[in-house]
């Protein structure tokens, strides 16, 4: 098994906009994200957010103005949380195909869970903001950089051939975007084991583009 500190981070450390927040503002974002998940966007009030962050309601209004203004930050925080889970899952396998299968399985498990923020926002008043976020250039770039780093790591170890990791990475990211936007369909992804099998059969070949002619 490859040691944890020998793996590349599958995603950049954080989102730039999150890094600009001070500790109190980040607490507000995390409290909002948790409330959106627990009770839904429509039912969450600024009082709920303030209580969760242990700050005054006036502080929440002063820093963000409206509940909707917090949504983008909450989506970034959720993406960061899921990224950490995917990173941990990647450590379970020593090879690129196995690591890909574990990463995809972890993502599908999170994306299918009722608690996932994007599922709760999809039919709420924040649906347009969510769609803009997961289809935006920043989301694509953020994911592509992380997955390309993962691919380049295995290329450097000689376990993958030489090809443009950014191209293959973006294919994976765009698949992710589609699954978040609409998780329904006929793909056999009903549980973690099925997601692993799917990744090995249908996604792993993307890691070997020279073998597909």
pLDDT at 90 over 80: no
Task: Answer whether residue 2 is part of any domain.
Answer: no
CA distance 145 to 14: 12
Token pair, residue 26, equals 């980040």
Tell me, yes or no, whether 1 lies in a domain. Answer: no
Residue 8 and residue 172: Cα distance in Å, rounded?
A: 17
Going by pLDDT thresholds of 50, 70 and 90, the confidence category of residue 7 is low
Share of the chain above pLDDT 90, in %: 39
pTM for this predicted structure: 0.81
For residue 205, give the H/E element and its range: none
Query: What's the pLDDT at 4?
Result: 37
For 47-81, give one letter per residue: b (16+ CB within 10 A) or e: ebbbebbebeeebbeebbeebeebbbbbbbbbbbe
27, burial (CB in 10 Å: exposed 0-12, middle 13-18, buried 19+): middle
Judged on CB neighbours under 10 Å (0-12, 13-18, 19+), 8 is middle
Provide the residue count of the chain: 213
Domain assignment present for 4: no
For 48-79, the pLDDT digits (tens) are 999 999 999 999 999 999 999 999 999 899 88
How far apart (Å, rounded) are the C-alpha atoms in residues 19 and 154? 29
In a domain, 159, yes or no: yes
Residue 28 lies in a domain: yes
List the one residue out of 115, 206, 149, 177 whose CA is nearest residue 7. 149
Q: Structural domain of residue 37, as residue ranges?
A: 13-211
In a domain, 3, yes or no: no
The pLDDT score that the predictor gives to residue 66 is 93
| 3 state DSSP class of 134 | helix
Instruction: Judge whether residue 212 has pLDDT over 60.
Output: no
**pLDDT of amino acid 2:** 38
CATH number of the domain that residue 166 is part of:
1.10.357.10
pLDDT per residue over 103-150, tens digit each? 898 888 887 776 666 777 677 888 888 888 888 888 888 889 888 988
User: What is the per-residue pLDDT for 112?
Assistant: 74
Assess if residue 110 is contained within a domain.
Answer: yes
Sign of CA dihedral 27, 33, 35, 37: negative
DSSP H/E element including 106:
helix 96-112
Instruction: Name the domain count of the chain.
Output: 1
Residue-wise DSSP of 61-105: HHHHSSHHHHHHHHHHHHHHHHHHHHHHHHTT-SSHHHHHHHHHH
Is residue 189 in a domain? yes
């Amino acid at each position: 098994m490859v040691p944890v500190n020998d793996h590349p981070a599958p995603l950049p450390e954080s989102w730039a906009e999150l890094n600009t927040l001070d500790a109190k503002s980040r607490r507000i974002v995390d409290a909002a994200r948790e409330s959106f998940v627990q009770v839904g966007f429509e039912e969450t009030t600024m009082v709920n957010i303030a209580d969760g962050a242990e700050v005054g309601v006036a502080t929440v209004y002063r820093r963000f103005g409206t509940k909707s203004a917090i949504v983008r930050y909450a989506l970034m925080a959720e993406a960061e949380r899921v990224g950490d889970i995917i990173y941990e899952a990647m450590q379970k396998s020593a090879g690129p195909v196995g690591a890909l299968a574990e990463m995809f399985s972890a993502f599908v498990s999170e994306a299918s869970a009722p608690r996932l923020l994007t599922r709760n926002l999809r039919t709420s008043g924040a649906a347009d903001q969510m769609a803009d976020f997961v289809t935006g250039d920043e989301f694509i770039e953020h994911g592509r950089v992380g997955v390309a780093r993962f691919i380049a790591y295995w290329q450097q170890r000689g376990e993958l051939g030489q090809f443009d990791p950014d191209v293959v990475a973006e294919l994976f990211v765009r698949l992710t975007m589609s699954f978040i936007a609409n998780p329904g369909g006929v793909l056999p992804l009903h549980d973690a084991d099925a997601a692993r099998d799917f990744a090995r059969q249908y996604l792993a070949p993307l890691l070997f583009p020279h073998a597909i002619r």
